[in-house]
């Protein structure tokens, strides 16, 4: 059977393989299109194995909130060029949909298979790095934010004692601003009450030593140390940090004011922050 340019192009469109690889596969398959596709897939899997050792320091983060679920996902690749590739982006979005539609709670073989398939087409190593899935109850709102070219993504979880308050535009705007806040300031903890006790102990000892070295009377040292701790918490704890849209108020103060405005008790119950290439 004659191997025409049209059938070579058709095979290339169907598989994403190079023109020469398509022609070689068709020749080997004696013009059988289906067999040529199979040959290319086998060739692709071999190529994937060769690429598996390449570093994947670039990538993109994705989010999706839908049908009572919220998902945040990071997909890694070798170059920032591929991170901007439309097929790479489309796959990340598709995988988020898959997670919600199929009730996945993490990375599963079916998802990895789709990544492997894209590797054969783009010819660059890539991987699913991490996925987190949240259940969103009727009295909860999850706000999402993806920065720029997907270099970081954020989910922020709000809860209300009155579910109808979550439909208020003021609350929705605040929730989105909180996602912006996390993206901007990368808090280490949600609030000071959940800071690791060993860490608090260590900081207390450091601040005590510093204060005593200044020659302060011992009776005032505890108060000074507590002030230093509170200031430190305002730097590392989400709720105690100055709010991104008004640094004269803490996040928790703005939250309290909005709760009063809408007549409901609002709480920020959690947040997730994926920065590409950084495990947080």
Which pTM does this prediction carry?
0.76
> Other C-beta atoms within 10 Å of 229: how many?
16
Structure confidence at residue 102 (pLDDT): 96
Residue 231, both tokens:
């200031």
145-166 average pLDDT score = 95
239-252 average pLDDT score = 96
**For a pLDDT cut of 90, what percent of the chain falls above it?**
63
CA distance 240 to 227: 13
Domain ranges of the chain: 5-51, 55-136
- What's the whole-number average pLDDT of the chain? 89
261-280 average pLDDT score = 91
CA distance 7 to 22: 9
Structure confidence at residue 51 (pLDDT): 47
Which residue carries 């808090």 as its tokens? 187
Structure confidence at residue 1 (pLDDT): 66
Are the folds of 5-51 and 55-136 the same?
Answer: no
Burial class from Cβ neighbours inside 10 Å (0-12, 13-18, 19+) for residue 101 reads exposed
71-93 average pLDDT score = 93
CA distance 101 to 71: 11
CA distance 3 to 45: 24
For residues 12 and 36, the answer to whether their CB atoms sit within 8 Å is no
Q: What would you report as the CA-atom Rg of the chain, rounded to the nearest whole angstrom?
A: 26
Confidence band of 46 (pLDDT split at 50, 70, 90): very low
Structure confidence at residue 44 (pLDDT): 59
CATH of domain 55-136: 3.30.479.20
Closest of 64, 62, 71 to residue 135, by C-alpha = 71
Residue 42, both tokens:
């086998």
Domain spanning 5-51: CATH superfamily: Ubiquitin-associated (UBA) domain (1.10.8.10)
Structure confidence at residue 79 (pLDDT): 86
Tens of pLDDT along 220-233? Answer: 988 999 999 999 99
Which residue carries 């192009």 as its tokens? 9
Give the HSE-up count for residue 255: Cα atoms under 13 Å, Cβ half-sphere: 21
Structure confidence at residue 238 (pLDDT): 97
Higher pLDDT, 2 or 106: 106
Closest of 54, 57, 15 to residue 36, by C-alpha = 15
Tens of pLDDT along 198-218? Answer: 989 998 998 888 888 888 888
> Alpha helices of the chain — where are they, by DSSP H?
5-15, 19-28, 33-51, 80-83, 86-102, 109-122, 169-185, 197-213, 221-236, 251-262
Higher pLDDT, 58 or 179: 179
């Amino acid at each position: 059977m004659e191997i025409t340019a049209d059938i070579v192009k058709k095979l290339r469109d169907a598989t994403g393989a190079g023109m020469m690889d398509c022609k070689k596969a068709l020749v080997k398959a004696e013009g059988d299109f289906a067999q040529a596709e199979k040959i290319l897939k086998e060739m692709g899997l071999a190529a994937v194995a060769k690429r598996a050792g390449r570093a994947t320091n670039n990538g993109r983060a994705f989010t999706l909130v839908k049908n009572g679920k919220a998902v945040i996902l990071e997909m890694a690749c070798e170059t920032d060029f591929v991170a901007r590739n439309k097929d790479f982006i489309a796959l990340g979005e598709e995988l988020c949909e898959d997670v919600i539609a199929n009730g996945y709670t993490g990375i599963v073989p079916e998802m990895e298979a789709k990544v492997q398939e894209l590797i054969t087409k783009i010819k660059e190593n890539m991987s699913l790095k991490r996925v987190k899935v949240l259940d969103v109850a009727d009295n909860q709102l999850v706000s999402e934010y993806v920065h720029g070219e997907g270099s970081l993504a954020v989910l922020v979880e709000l809860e209300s004692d009155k579910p109808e308050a979550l439909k208020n535009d003021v609350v929705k705007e605040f929730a989105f601003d909180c996602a912006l806040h996390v993206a901007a300031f990368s808090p280490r903890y949600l609030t000071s009450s959940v800071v690791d006790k060993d860490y608090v102990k260590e900081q207390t000892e450091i601040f005590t030593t510093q204060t005593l070295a200044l020659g302060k009377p011992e009776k005032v040292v505890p108060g000074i140390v507590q002030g230093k701790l509170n200031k430190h918490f305002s730097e590392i704890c989400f709720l105690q940090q100055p709010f991104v849209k008004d640094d004269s108020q803490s996040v928790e103060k703005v939250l309290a004011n909005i709760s009063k405005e809408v007549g409901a008790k609002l709480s920020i119950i959690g947040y997730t922050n994926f920065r590409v290439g950084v495990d947080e």
